[in-house]
Amino acid sequence: MGRKKSSAASGLAALSILCVVSIALFTVYVKEGDCAKEQVSCGPLHTVQLGAAEVLQPARSVFASLFEPLQRASESVQGALDNGREHRLERQLRDSQALAAESSRLERENAHLRELLKGQRSTYEYGPLARVVAPVGDQFTQRIAINVGTEDGVEPNMPVVIGENTLVGRTTEVSKHTAQVMLITDQMFAAGVRIIPPAKFDPASGELSPAVSAENVSYGQGLLETNLEGYFGVDLVSLSARAEEGDYVVTSGRAGDKELLFPPGLYVGKVESVSSQDIEQFKKIVVDPAMSPQDLEAVRVVVDWAGREG
């Protein structure tokens, strides 16, 4: 039997008022803009979220360690569900590549740690080693939280790397002790990149061949982003530009006389496939990212680099 509801009218009035308040909050939030872009203090609603992130950081760290085995198990289950010989071979190949990459990464990390003992790498100035606290965001975003913030010299829109130069993403909202990182696979992420042949780039050291910076050489240049169709790739690459499967994708750093957000030479990944049709203006380039969001544990923010303006 229904209960008597004496507050039905007041409930409806409250519902209407609170709906308007919610819409007003949404409008204010959007109008506040992205703290990352404004470079000034955030608006009150963004500040509330940043404060909450700061307060929740210890709890998130605890759950991060609790969920690690679960995430590994989920990856294994996902792997087990992939049937077919081809899938199995692909998986084995990926595992081998991952092992090789891990071995190479450890080697690099070892060298890097030795270098750290002597002093930082001259071209980039890194923030302190940051631990990945937790994934954040919703079904439309790919972001993580790290445990460094403004007190460590981190600001919004700074590149985040693993190892020395493998690009992971960029910082967005930064509080005193935490920062959010938008991963390169997030649909809102974009970066100016160039596509260079393997002979011209060493992903371990990030060294670019001098020929790459020569003005008369036409390597493919474009915009790295995750397309709405879901593939991660480079857009706006001219049909006449050179781009082949297996080429390296690195940040370009500059577009004409304009400095871009990232320093040149940050390694993004390898070209997985290149296709083009006559009716299209640009090539369709799919990239296999060098970083894997599930494997991120410790990252580093590049706080400054040689040749940076301002």
Partner 1 sequence: MEQASVVRAAIVVAIAALLDAVVVPYLTFGFFSPRLTLIAVVFAVAPLRDLQAVLLGFFGGILLDALGSDLFGVGALGGLFAAMLASRASAVRRRGSERVLLAQVAGLAVAGYDLLGYTARWLAGLAVPQLGEYAVGGVLPDALINALLAFLVGGWLLGVVNVKAPNGWEK
CB of 232 to partner 1, least distance (A): 13
- 137 lies in the site for partner 1, by CB under 8 A: yes
143 binds partner 1 (CB under 8 A): yes
Q: Which of 69, 77, 83, 138 binds partner 1 (CB under 8 A)?
A: 138
- Which of 41, 65, 139, 216: binder of partner 1 (CB under 8 A)? 139
How buried is 42 (Cβ within 10 angstroms: 0-12 exposed, 13-18 middle, 19+ buried)?
A: buried
Q: Is the dihedral of CA 184, 185, 186, 191 positive or negative?
A: positive
Our finding on whether 135 is near partner 1 (CB under 8 A) is yes
The binder of partner 1 chosen from 147, 180, 251, 252 (CB under 8 A): 180
Please, which residue, 29 or 282, has the CB nearer to partner 1?
29
Vertex 119, ends 117 and 121: CA angle to 5°?
Answer: 120
Q: Is-contact 148 130, C-beta < 8 A? A: yes
Longest CA span, the chain: 83
State which of positions 65-84 bind partner 1 (CB under 8 A): 67, 70-71
Pick 70 or 214: Cβ nearer partner 1: 70
Tell me the C-alpha distance between 188 and 146, whole Å.
Answer: 19
Task: Calculate the dihedral angle through the C-alpha atoms of 263, 265, 267, 268, rounding to the nearest 10 degrees.
Answer: 60
Considering the complex, what minimum distance in angstroms separates the CB of residue 306 from partner 1? 33
* Residue ranges in 12-51 that form contacts with partner 1 under rule CB under 8 A: 12, 14-15, 18-19, 21-30, 45, 48-49
Amino acid at 151: E
Interface with partner 1 (CB under 8 A), residue total: 49
| 190-196 vs 124-126, strand pairing mode | unpaired
- Residue 260 CB, nearest distance to partner 1 (Å)? 20
d(CA 161, CA 239): 30
Binding mask 221-250 vs partner 1 (x if CB under 8 A, - otherwise)?
A: -------x-x--------------------
Using CA atoms, how far apart are residues 219 and 233, in angstroms rounded to an integer? 16
The Cα 136–Cα 113 span in angstroms is: 29
Phi, psi of 29 (to 5 degrees): -60, -45
Count of beta carbons in the 10 Å neighbourhood of residue 83: 8
Number of Cβ within a 10 Å radius of residue 226:
20
Stretch that binds partner 1, among 53-61, 98-106, 120-128, 154-162 (CB under 8 A): 53-61
Q: Which stretch binds partner 1 (CB under 8 A): 56-64, 88-96, 102-110, 192-200?
A: 56-64
- Which residue of 163, 173, 232, 283 would you call a contact of partner 1, by CB under 8 A? 173
The residues that touch partner 1, with contacts defined as CB under 8 A, are: 2-3, 5-8, 10-12, 14-15, 18-19, 21-30, 45, 48-49, 52-53, 56, 59-60, 63, 67, 70-71, 134-140, 143, 173, 180, 187-188, 228, 230
